[in-house]
Amino acid sequence: MEAEIPPEEQMEENQQSVDAAQPLSRIVPIPKSQLAPYRTVIILRLVILALFIHYRVTHPVDSAYPLWLTSVICEIWFAFSWILDQFPKWSPINRDTYIDRLSARYEREGQPSELAAVDFFVSTVDPLKEPPLITANTVLSILSADYPVDKISCYVSDDGAAMLTFESLVETAEFARKWVPFSKKFNIEPRAPEFYFSQKIDYLKDKIQPSFVKERRAMKRDYEEFKVRVNALVAKAQKTPDEGWTMADGTPWPGNNTRDHPGMIQVFLGYSGAHDIEGNELPRLVYVSREKRPGYQHHKKAGAENALVRVSAVLTNAPYILNLDCDHYVNNSKAIREAMCFLMDPQVGRDVCYVQFPQRFDGIDKSDRYANRNTVFFDVNMKGLDGIQGPVYVGTGCVFNRQALYGYGPPNLPSVPKTSSCSWCASCCCCCRRKKPAKEKDFAEVYRDAKREDLNAAIFNLREIESYDDNERSLIISQMSFEKTFGLSAVFIESTLMENGGLPESANPSMLIKEAIQVISCGYEEKTSWGKEIGWIYGSVTEDILTGFKMHCRGWRSIYCMPLRPAFKGSAPINLSDRLHQVLRWALGSVEIFLSRHCPLWYGFGGGRLKWLQRLAYINTIVYPFTSLPLIAYCLIPAICLLTGKFIIPTLSNLASVLFLGLFCSIITTSVLELRWSGVSIEDWWRNEQFWVIGGVSAHLFAVFQGFLKMLAGLDTNFTVTAKASDDGEFGELYIIKWTTVLIPPTSILIVNMVGVVAGFSDALNKGYEAWGPLFGKVFFAFWVIFHLYPFLKGLMGRQNRTPTIVILWSVLLASVFSLVWVKIDPFVSKDDTSTISQGCIAIDC
């Protein structure tokens, strides 16, 4: 007779089975009470904007025709730019995840975990610019993540082939044996030791283990010793020996010539059977430095990421890939589980190419002077895109479906009927291509669609590749000519056909490292589709935008995941010059895409898989640098008007006054309602508006010219950055002044507008009271420019002995105005000189 199960246990098991069957995530729509007014105001603003443009075009100012024409052209461009930015935010959404349901479905008690494996990619180049201690903290936070250890593999790409990076990883692997069990035992957050120990919080909160205080002190002491060892390596690496670096065994370091060295792979943890101090298994940690030879194009970060894709496919082949910059550590140990709630949900995950997390940063001043947090973009624009086809890929903090990186389309596309044996290869093109007339698409588009669908067909027809013997498998792969797409590695090609990841049974562990070395050789990508159709896409310094765009064009969608505790945190440049050069690089990448065949204005129409609002968003990402040209003109117009006495707007009628007032109110109302549903503070919104102008009149302008010089003339222009002064103390870097040519345009605009304000007041004093009315409009626009450029002026002036910059600014303006008034009135003139008095009164209309 079977033992009866207690009712409590039956209820618990039933509850677990119910949880396992429920969705792992849900969409949380924005309340209609917030969204309906927001959409209404957008439409109203569009109508008012059309009427305003019509009025401006049909009412020229003959006395200032060139200024009027310039202003109208600028306003039309601003209207176009606003449409591109606004309408992709038409349907914003939020999302919730259910990590407990994920565990109930894939981590049943007493059974091996069925959670999918994840390969982490960490990329670094120069350890003297990207401190090894920061990279080490990123690696330690990955190895300590709340995820099964046998499901995590961490690949560190050293694209500078630096022995310092290698040696620091040796130390990191050794320290991980202590850090990983400590962080998991006490469930601490974050699990990057540098940032955990620097927290100014009560670390005893919720820690009930009596041994916690003692073990924490011991771990902090161990970490300080680890830092000393790593910093000693950094100090040693400051001067390279004449004979080059030598390893511990006396052999020369293979990467002494950073431009001419073999590929290097070293497995520190995982395969070697390494365990932590408590005897538990540790995740894999693999060092990778791809081969570099003169005469080969290496494609910088995108090429390094593609090398990691191939190495990881040969060694572990996890179905999902998470890439991080070396300075972005895991701040939320459950971040991988958050992503798996989407990727492993059968109802959602099949069509998801990646899950993007927002970027969050440490070490930024409280006022966020230069909008380093990009709050408006990450909390407004990205939520809007999530309601269409998904957020854009931003280069870090992203979990990819490996199959999407291989150029395959999502499973929901029309599949190909399965045929027997291998005879399908000759006819697969006929049965899988669309019946759309070829004349509707150019030849290149037809070829790309055919190539993509051939690969989709290959996946469908090779689901049962495991059932073939080695000869049949080799025959099938060669028949498909996959070498032309993926390269000459049979092991790698076979891994691309395994949708659920894992290594094939035929894989020989002793040969995997040799195969991995082959796939990172500098000539492996030649005459293949790497960087063109598969992997990270080449052709722009912002390879992230291109890569996500190609996936969306194939019909994939992406997901935006915003857990309450930020998933990842990184560092951001906080001084003015570094921030502008970061923006310059992003804008340059957008210009490169605009001038390439992948421009969203004309690429990807053949398949019809990219939604039109998503296309608008991508167009916005590549045309926004060109706004710098009308923006600079518009910022100079107020000063020119003040200096010349002319104005771009004629005498306003009642209708014109209503239009101006309506446009102004609609702009304010749209912003307020946007802040309401997004939760962004008004301070963050204002900082974003200010830096839009600062970046627009500086970095974006240089990016446009540099992009055209690079793409059309082959000239690569670099702008030198020179540090001039530095202050100690907290946020000392914020006050470093680095003079660079990017600072010239906004500085000139500021000076011209301030001179214009002084000249305008002087002119009004000369002409009398009738001049003060027109002066108000001109001065209003001039101060609009000055207030938007105020953070730039503050950064340009540094601390100024801690005197607030606004005091200096107002002092200069008021002193200039009152000086002119004083000179004009001249109170010290003799009262007996009536002629002088009368002339003075006439001059100021007494």
Active site residues: 159, 544
The SS3 call for residue 725 is strand
CB atoms within 10 A of CB 279: 7
> What type of residue is 515?
E
Q: Does 596 count as an annotated binding residue?
A: no
Token pair listed for 839:
């002339």
The SS3 call for residue 362 is strand
CA end-to-end span of the chain: 114
Q: Does 470 count as an annotated binding residue?
A: no
Q: Does 826 count as an annotated binding residue?
A: no
CB atoms within 10 A of CB 786: 20
Size of the chain, expressed as the number of residues it contains: 846
> What type of residue is 608?
G
> What are the φ/ψ torsions at residue 39 (nearest 5 degrees)?
-70, -35
485-488 long-range Cβ contacts below 8 angstroms, 24+ apart: 485/407, 485/451, 485/455, 485/528, 485/529, 485/533, 485/534, 486/406, 486/528, 486/529, 486/530, 486/534, 487/310, 487/519, 487/524, 487/525, 487/528, 487/530, 488/518, 488/524
Which ranges in 116-162 belong to alpha helices (H)?
A: 132-143
The SS3 call for residue 623 is helix
788/784 Cα distance (integer angstroms): 6
717/736 Cα distance (integer angstroms): 24
The residues near 782 (Cβ < 8 Å, ≥ 6 apart) are 638, 639, 642, 753, 756, 757, 760
Q: Does 129 count as an annotated binding residue?
A: yes
279/516 Cα distance (integer angstroms): 29
764/385 Cα distance (integer angstroms): 50
Which ranges in 595-624 belong to alpha helices (H)?
A: 612-623
| Cβ atoms of 582 and 570 closer than 8 Å | no
DSSP string, 52-82: HHHHHHHS--GGGHHHHHHHHHHHHHHHHHH
251/272 Cα distance (integer angstroms): 22
Q: Does 91 count as an annotated binding residue?
A: no
The residues near 194 (Cβ < 8 Å, ≥ 6 apart) are 133, 134, 137, 223
Q: Does 130 count as an annotated binding residue?
A: yes
Is cis: bond before 650, omega within 30 of 0? no
Q: Does 550 count as an annotated binding residue?
A: no
How distant, in Å, are the alpha carbons of 1, 17, 651, 761, 842 from that of 764? 105, 80, 18, 5, 13
Q: Which of 759, 637, 785 has its CA nearest to residue 67?
A: 637
> What are the φ/ψ torsions at residue 30 (nearest 5 degrees)?
-65, 135
| Cβ atoms of 704 and 742 closer than 8 Å | no
| Cβ atoms of 554 and 537 closer than 8 Å | no
336/342 Cα distance (integer angstroms): 10
Which ranges in 238-329 belong to alpha helices (H)?
A: 300-315
Summarize the annotated binding site for UDP-alpha-D-glucose as residue ranges.
123, 129-130, 159, 300
Summarize the annotated binding site for Mn(2+) as residue ranges.
301, 325
Summarize the annotated binding site as residue ranges.
123, 129-130, 159, 300-301, 325
